[in-house]
Amino acid sequence: MPPVVRTVLVLACACALLATSVHTQAPASRPVWLEPYREVAARLVQAATGDQFAWRRLAELTDTFGHRLGGSENLDRAVVWAVEAMRRDGLENVRAEEVMVPRWVRGRESAEITVPPKHSIAMLGLGGSIATPPGGLEAEVVVVNAFEELRSRAADIRGRIVLFNAPFTTYSDTVAYRTGGARAASQLGAVAALIRGVGPTGLRTPHTGSVQYGQGISPIPAASISAEDADRIARLTSRGGRVRVRLTMEARADPDVLSANVVGELRGRERPEEIVLLGGHFDSWDVGTGASDDAVGCIITWEAARLMARLGIRPRRTVRIVLFTNEENGLRGATAYAAKHAAHAGNHVFALEADSGVFEPASLGFSGSAAARNIVRDIGTLLAPLGLSEIVAGGGGADIGPIAQAGNAPMMAYLGNPGRYFAIHHTPADTIERIAPEEVSKAAAAIAVMAYVIAEMPERLPR
Ligand SMILES: [Zn+2]
């Protein structure tokens, strides 16, 4: 038996999940118990892949509202739109559940090499960063590849800008520099931290994302710079040169504001109190349009319920869609949902999050008991036409984590190909142009079938 992975996800995005993918044993190709579900499953796949409704809805969302940082007007307007659209789809109990969220505003920002000859750096301030003094700050850069190297050069750091130039390995490993680099540099007296973009080398794209200063640390401005600019600075210093950078950031944190999780349901016909939860996060970073992170996760889970409603399929249990707010810079939506529904946590029989894009080859990750895994693996055989029959280890997500942990619910993740996903993750390149309609349709089909069978089978999925 493969190990059961039950990871508490606190990092922004479900990306930590992608580190492990242990393949399970192949199931029987045609489990007998699934016979009653085959016809409906085939209709769902047919409906999902027969048109491009979900991709068009994704385009409408990202074109109309753009990026949707927690606390922004864009997100507020998108929430209103989603509530209205869910009602038009025929979903039930559609509502916006209010949540207070942080509001961070990027402001103008820039970075340039001032010595040797001026060079403008492709940069993005990290979410939650403080501003530089008005007019910016300028200092010599110390380049380190790892935290150990920073410590070994502790005497060189005071008054300098530290550039963490760690090469990208996996997201879960490399993101430690984005979240914790500024903290480590500040402790040694640095005046700012620059982080090589956390992702495979792209087309000179910096990757934003949260910085975490921690208790008792003097915060310093923190920004991501492109891999190409990081490498250039590293080469210049490795030749013995001194590189000075001017960093200017106007970032600020405003008081918390009201936001909302969007909730819609297909009420169960026999056990409406039992919930199959599907969702993603509706907020994004304030660059690109957050198409892959995570508009598409919201759209494909929502589409699963829309297709059931459209085809007149009403499973035994309730299928609930939640578009969570503020995953990226606070996780307040997930926390608020778990608190509001704490009394019913045990009624969540299954929770699926899509927050890794839909890039192929995709897979479904699962975390739960061996008994549940066997059932889910059987259901996976219905997804063979979609190329998604294999269920890998590692289900869950940052948004469903709190409620699923409270209710001990089995968890699944829809996992897009990590190489393609992280190339555009938290960058201006995260737009719908990267996403093929067929990949959206297949993802929606797979989630619809999985949710339908789990919501319909006589016994609840074992914990
Ligand atoms: Zn995400």
Cα of 283 vs centre of ligand 1, distance in Å, is 8
Q: Return the sign of the alpha-carbon dihedral for residues 180, 183, 187, 188.
A: positive
Strand partners, 222: 193
Residue 128 has pLDDT above 70, yes or no: yes
Mean pLDDT score, 2-21? 37
Cα 295 to ligand 1 centre (Å): 9
Is a pLDDT exceeding 70 seen at residue 284? yes
Q: pLDDT tens digits for 251-283? A: 999 999 999 999 999 999 999 999 999 999 999
User: Residue 402 in contact with residue 335, Cβ under 8 Å?
Assistant: yes
- pLDDT score, position 28: 67
Alpha-helical (H) ranges within 125-188 are 147-152, 171-187
Q: Give the whole-angstrom CA distance, residue 143 versus residue 145.
A: 7
Give per-residue pLDDT as tens, 146-203.
999 999 999 999 999 999 999 999 999 999 999 999 999 999 999 999 999 999 999 9
Q: How far is the CA of 297 from the centre of ligand 1 (A)?
A: 8
Structure tokens at 345: 């946590």
Asked if residue 247 has pLDDT above 80, the reply is yes
Paired tokens of 367: 């975390």
- Give the model's confidence band at 373: pLDDT under 50 very low, under 70 low, under 90 confident, else very high: very high
Token representation of residue 156: 């060189």
Q: How far is the CA of 425 from the centre of ligand 1 (A)?
A: 8
Q: What's the pLDDT score for residue 268?
A: 98
Tell me whether the omega of the peptide bond preceding residue 294 falls within 30 degrees of 0, making it cis: yes
Judged against a pLDDT cut of 70, whether residue 23 lies above it is answered with: no
Q: From the CA of 292, how far away is ligand 1's center (Å)?
A: 8
**For range 417-429, the mean pLDDT:** 97
Question: Do 216 and 114 touch, CB atoms closer than 8 A?
Answer: no
Tell me how far the alpha carbon of residue 357 lies from the centroid of ligand 1, in angstroms: 8
- Whether 24 has a pLDDT exceeding 70, the answer reads no
β-pairing verdict for 363-367 and 391-393:
parallel
Using the predicted structure, report yes or no on whether residue 348 has a pLDDT greater than 60.
yes
416 within 8 A of 335, measured Cβ to Cβ? no
Q: Is 92 exposed, middle or buried (0-12, 13-18, 19+ CB in 10 A)?
A: middle
Tell me the CA distances in angstroms from 192 to 36, 198, 225, one per residue in order.
61, 18, 13
* CB 415 within 8 Å of CB 363: yes
If you ran DSSP here, which 8-state letter would residue 147 be given? H
pLDDT reading at 9 higher than 70: no
Whether the CB-CB separation of 273 and 315 falls below 8 Å is answered with no
Average model confidence (pLDDT) across the chain: 94
Q: What CA–CA distance (Å, rounded) separates 196 from 202?
A: 12
Q: Which residue has the tokens 């969007």?
A: 262
- How far is the centre of ligand 1, averaged over its atoms, from the C-alpha of 355 (Å)? 5
- CB contact at 8 A, 353 and 297: yes
What pLDDT sits at residue 1?
33
Strand pairing class (271-281; 348-354): parallel
Q: Is 395 helix (H, G, I), strand (E, B) or coil?
A: coil
Tokens of 58: 């994704």
From the list 109, 274, 327, 353, the catalytic residue is: 327
Question: Does a cis peptide bond (omega within 30 degrees of 0) precede residue 361?
Answer: yes
Residue 435 has pLDDT above 70, yes or no: yes
Specify the CATH number of the domain 108-250.
Answer: 3.50.30.30
- Active-site annotation holds for 327: yes
Predicted confidence band of residue 117 (pLDDT cuts 50, 70, 90): confident
Distance CA 153, CA 241 (A): 17
Q: Give the CATH number of domain 14-104+255-456; options: 3.20.20.220, 3.40.630.10, 3.30.1240.10, 3.30.1280.10.
A: 3.40.630.10
Between 390 and 34, the more confident residue is 34
3-state secondary structure of 6: coil
Name the segment(s) of the chain with CATH classification 3.50.30.30.
Answer: 108-250
Most distant CA pair in the chain, distance: 73
Sign of CA dihedral 379, 382, 385, 386: negative
Distance 319 CA to ligand 1 centre (A): 22
403-438 burial code (b ≥16 CB/10 A, e <16): bbbbbebbbbbbbbbbebbbbbbbbbbbbbebbebe
pLDDT of res. 27: 54
Q: How would you write 294-335 as a 3-class SS string?
A: HHHHHHHHHHHHHHHHHCCCCCCEEEEEEEECCCCCCCHHHH
**Percent of the chain that is helix, strand, coil (3-state, to 5):** 40, 25, 35
Burial class (CB in 10 A: 0-12, 13-18, 19+), 187: middle
**Residues 6+ positions from 228 with CB-CB distance below 8 Å:** 122, 201, 204
Q: Does position 12 have pLDDT exceeding 70, yes or no? A: no
Is the predicted pLDDT of residue 74 greater than 50, yes or no? yes
pTM of the model: 0.93
Give 9's DSSP letter. Answer: -
Average pLDDT of the residues in 427-440:
98
Rounded mean pLDDT, 288-312: 98
In the 3-class helix/strand/coil scheme, how is 181-204 assigned residue by residue?
Answer: HHHHHHHCCCCEEEEECCCCCCCC
Percent of the chain at pLDDT > 90 equals 92
Residue 29 pLDDT? 82
User: What's the confidence (pLDDT) of residue 389?
Assistant: 87
